[in-house]
């Protein structure tokens, strides 16, 4: 294998990791948005507890997938480490969300949900930003 072929293969793998991370982040944000929608419907009186509870499982699974891909991007893909750190913070926020929701602490659960969504959207914006070529 030539050096050019090796670097092309490495670039291809790095691109696949970035694409996978972007998809995971987008799905994670979508799952958090669904949680906000079902929460709003519950505030309006609809019985969405089952869907809202099941949605939390999706948030956790997608958060874990996002974290794993961010670590792979950082360690194997030689990308920056901030996506892994931000993904860990977001995963922990999701667990905090579940805990406060399960306890019925709406005064903490709702603001924490807003923070969680804000952090998720910030990560989404940054991972979709074109890479700088400084």
- pLDDT tens readout for residues 22-55: 999 999 999 999 999 999 999 899 999 999 999 9
> pTM for this one?
0.86
Distance between CA atoms of residues 22 and 74, nearest Å: 14
What are the tens digits of pLDDT across the range 65-80?
999 999 999 998 778 9
Cα first-last separation, the chain: 30
């Amino acid at each position: 294998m030539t050096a050019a072929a090796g670097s092309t293969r490495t670039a291809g793998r790095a691109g696949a990791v970035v694409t996978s991370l972007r998809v995971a982040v987008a799905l994670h944000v979508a799952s958090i948005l669904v949680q906000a929608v079902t929460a709003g419907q519950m505030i309006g009186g609809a019985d969405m507890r089952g869907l809202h509870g099941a949605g939390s499982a999706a948030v956790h699974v997608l958060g874990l997938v996002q974290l794993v891909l961010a670590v792979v991007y950082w360690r194997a893909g030689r990308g920056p480490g901030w996506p892994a750190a931000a993904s860990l913070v977001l995963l922990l926020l999701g667990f905090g969300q579940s805990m406060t929701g399960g306890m019925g602490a709406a005064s903490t659960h709702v603001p924490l949900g807003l923070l969680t969504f804000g952090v998720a959207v910030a990560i989404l914006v940054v991972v979709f930003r074109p890479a700088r070529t400084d």
